[in-house]
Structure 1
């Protein structure tokens, strides 16, 4: 894959995201698919009420169209490409149903945790059996070492945990304008570089396509956001990101490249455990981006700082692995 191919993938996905946004956002407004804001959230967020959600449809559309067309043109369509699209669409569909129940049917809880979990497990298991139809390694390696753990038949359980865990981690992080759009574009670009260095051009193409699609979506999502991605987008992104780490056998490295998502999730876990065991809160509010908001940081400052951390978390391990 040449630099021109990479730039083409990013540019095409970026352009389709822009076009999709100009079509989908007005449609969401006409249908009154506006976001409702939790009363227990930061007070400043109440002004965002009514902003169209389900914006994940914008970049999911771009990713599907660009991946299918360029994979055909460059002859890199593989089972792995199909699996990535299944995860993207499958997890995105789960998020869409959740968003639809909340926004359109006005049921604040959406899908129950159990319903969402079962649906995610089904999609993950389908993906696993598709992968097992060809040569697929069921080991997990520690980055920068020769240490490997063969999981065998237990890999399917690991895969389910990994996909569900990271899809929810990205979902938790999606709380500020542009935060997930920026951090995810960085993470996908990092995995694109790694996939390219490993000779996995199909995965590299998909990763750079997602990067371009997210940069296009970011233009609509930066503060003040014209649209939110909703669970439709965040679950799809998290699942796809986790699956890429699986396909290039760099699962554990995702904990570093996806550092922001990990920290956001840990902040929620720590807050819940602390409050239930001691009655005290560690953070002013979780996820941790809300803690910084209530500490006086502007939303834009938090997003920029988190983008910077995400960039460092992605660049350093990629350089260590590739060079």
Structure 2
């Protein structure tokens, strides 16, 4: 299957599954109701994550380009997505969710998938688990405004595909294009005003899968360790910054980090006078700048990437 058809299939499946999932969500009460610590002003169905997962799985399955690494990442992300779905149905304790994230990340590294950061295997295993858990939580936290998490994921995945535009990266490209297509198909219904949310099922699945793309294919282990460390960070700079910002702010305020609130980066931009859509678009722009800096640095050197970021 050509890359274009793979992308179109993932997009189309995610797109066509959203309307029936909306009806199921309303019929079963799987909706997010307005609350003091939430941004939505009306009840919104929560089953969008299932459209994401289905779109990715079917397109990867028919592509015939998925190997062990792709199936490991996708299967683990789906397991975590199912944990998120249970959390959407019956909220889990934060410690329970974290424990599941660690368990699923451990499953990945036991399949010999890890970041190649050093010659110390145990160090690489620990950093890989940290990366998977951190990005899962970062996207879970970032899903705080219409279209934000899905759009930021799509931008990161788009740049990730640019890095894969070369021989020998077919398997990784299959995973990235499936995730990209499904994210954009879902985003049609999730951009403000959102008609469906991805829920914890979608945000935990998507965050883990985006992190997992760093473990499949050439990324970019042929270059220096600095590239291996900083390029993935640049591609996901918005969710990582938002998670760090919220964690520090809530800790300083004496609030539990896991408690929801209107204190995210997106909410601060709205408080400064931007509309909801404008705030999301500003963060899209910052994510695009991070991706462009990563690609420029990889292609032409850190000095060029640094100039672009300025």
- Distance in 1, matches of 2:54 and 2:115, equals 31
2:93 aligned with 1:99: no
Q: Does the 8 Å CA contact 2:234/2:293 hold for their aligned counterparts?
A: no
Which digits, 9 at most, give the CA deviation of each residue in 1:167-218, with x for residues without a partner? 0001111111111111101111211221333632101111011111111101
For residue 95 of structure 2, what is the aligned residue in structure 1?
114
Q: Does the 8 Å CA contact 2:83/2:97 hold for their aligned counterparts?
A: yes
For residue 309 of structure 1, what is the aligned residue in structure 2?
286
Q: Which runs of 5+ in 1 are unaligned?
A: 102-109, 141-148, 278-283
For residue 129 of structure 1, what is the aligned residue in structure 2?
110
2:172 aligned with 1:183: no
Instruction: Pick the aligned partner of 1:67 from 43, 55, 60.
Output: 60
- Distance in 2, matches of 1:93 and 1:252, equals 30
Q: Which runs of 5+ in 2 are unaligned?
A: 222-227, 256-260, 301-310
Q: Does the 8 Å CA contact 1:86/1:127 hold for their aligned counterparts?
A: no
| TM-score, normalised via structure 2 length | 0.86
SS at the partner of 1:234? Answer: helix
Q: C-alpha displacement at 1:11, in angstroms? A: 0.8
Q: C-alpha displacement at 1:322, in angstroms? A: 4.3
Superposition map of 1:157-196 within 5 A: 157-196=126-165
Q: C-alpha displacement at 1:10, in angstroms? A: 1.2
SS at the partner of 2:100? Answer: helix
SS at the partner of 1:177? Answer: coil
| TM-score, normalised via structure 1 length | 0.83
Cα 1:137–1:298 change in 2 (3 A) is closer
SS at the partner of 1:203? Answer: helix
Q: Does the 8 Å CA contact 1:194/1:322 hold for their aligned counterparts?
A: no
SS at the partner of 2:132? Answer: helix
For residue 238 of structure 1, what is the aligned residue in structure 2?
207
Q: Does the 8 Å CA contact 2:269/2:279 hold for their aligned counterparts?
A: yes
2:310 aligned with 1:321: no
Q: Does the 8 Å CA contact 1:177/1:225 hold for their aligned counterparts?
A: yes
Give the aligned CA root-mean-square deviation in angstroms.
2.1
Instruction: Pick the aligned partner of 1:208 from 152, 177, 182.
Output: 177
For residue 280 of structure 1, what is the aligned residue in structure 2?
none
- Distance in 1, matches of 2:114 and 2:210, equals 18
Cα 1:319–1:7 change in 2 (3 A) is farther
Which digits, 9 at most, give the CA deviation of each residue in 1:222-278, with x for residues without a partner? 11111000110111111111111233354542211111101111211221233249x
| Count of aligned pairs between the two proteins | 286
2:188 aligned with 1:219: yes
Cα 1:138–1:302 change in 2 (3 A) is closer
Q: C-alpha displacement at 1:77, in angstroms? A: 2.3
Cα 1:315–1:138 change in 2 (3 A) is closer
